[in-house]
Amino acid sequence: MKTYLFQRLGIAVLTLFGMSVVIFLLLRLAPGDIVDILFSTGGYVSDADRTEIMKELGIDKPLTVQYMEWIRNFLRGDLGKSYRYDQPAWDVIRPLIPVTLELAVLSTLVAVFLGVPTGVISAIRQDTPLDYVLRVFSLAGLAMPAFWLGMVIILGLVSYLRWIPPVTYVSPRENLWLHAVQFGLPALAVGYRSSALIMRITRSALLEVMREDYIRTAWAKGQSERIVIWRHALQNAILPVVTVIGIEFAFLIGGLVVTENVFNLPGVARFLVQAILWRDYPIVQNLVMFIAVVVILSNLFVDMLYGFLDPRVRVGG
């Protein structure tokens, strides 16, 4: 188990390193440099000014030097300076992290509590009308863009309840109820989509396990459906479900990008979109690295959970 974890950790570090190179080159290979884009709205920039700005931003140095500097700063926790706010990026990002994290966790909870039970019901009632209804429900979730679902939810609230959700961030200390609603709605929109995948995988994993001999034995012993399904079958079907939840967590962060925009929540994802639109590239590359770290950590966590849930992984190493 330990060697296995170290191996995973090594791969994770390698992946992060590779990703940093990819992101770095991607943003440097883009046509036109940052100065062009930044000041294209400001009209003519004299050559002297241009050199000055490039020097200030450090983009006159060779690419390798720039890269080394970035990595050194990143490892020291220095995420650079935001052009837009003219203050260290970390100071801008730090208050945004809890928002995104809260939303991600809430959405995952919605996804799990919606996806696993519907998957189980769909599997034990296979090919009944109920199964079809649940499957179409989940397919619909996969088809609808989360941001659109969010817009429709807001629209519904406004038109039918004559209630406009808060347009600015409400902290839990200010008003807990409004805060819960403000986070609950986007979590519902994003979680519904993720629940669809969890439902599908739960259903298929459970269907596979239900054909095993030991389940027949359990039935033959006269055990109740509740015990057979929830105790015997689900325990062995849960592994692929956990994998999907882990993978989904990464996708979820992608989904939050737009949902935070729609619901006006001041999170990391919305900030990333804004940084991209402002061509605030140092911030973009740091935020993308930050997301990559979160994704890779969540994958590692799933790997560790495997060992906990499945003794075979633990012994096998």
Nearer to other proteins among residue 106 and residue 206 (C-beta) = 206
What does the DSSP 8-state code read for residue 128?
S
The C-alpha angle 241, 105, 146, rounded to 5 degrees, equals 80
- The CA distance from 143 to 140, in Å, is 5
Tokens of 158: 């406004």
Q: Does 250 bind other proteins (CB under 8 A)?
A: yes
CB of 214: closest distance to other proteins in angstroms?
20
Nearer to other proteins among residue 51 and residue 126 (C-beta) = 126
Judged by CB under 8 A, the stretch of 168-176, 200-208, 225-233, 307-315 that binds other proteins is 200-208
Q: Does 79 bind other proteins (CB under 8 A)?
A: no
Which residues contact residue 278 at a Cβ distance below 8 angstroms, ignoring those fewer than 6 apart?
Answer: 83, 84
- The CA distance from 128 to 126, in Å, is 6
- The CA distance from 139 to 310, in Å, is 30
For residue 38, with 0-12 CB atoms within 10 Å meaning exposed, 13-18 middle and 19 or more buried, which class applies? middle
Q: Does 19 bind other proteins (CB under 8 A)?
A: yes
Q: Does 145 bind other proteins (CB under 8 A)?
A: yes
Taking CB under 8 A as the criterion, which residues in 276-315 touch other proteins? 276-277, 279, 284, 288, 291-292, 295-296
Which residues contact residue 157 at a Cβ distance below 8 angstroms, ignoring those fewer than 6 apart?
Answer: 163, 164, 165
Nearer to other proteins among residue 180 and residue 250 (C-beta) = 250
| Chain residues in the site for other proteins (CB under 8 A) | 11, 14-16, 18-19, 22-23, 26-27, 29-31, 139-140, 142-145, 147-148, 151-152, 154-155, 158-159, 200-201, 203-204, 207-208, 250-251, 253-255, 257-258, 261-262, 272-273, 276-277, 279, 284, 288, 291-292, 295-296
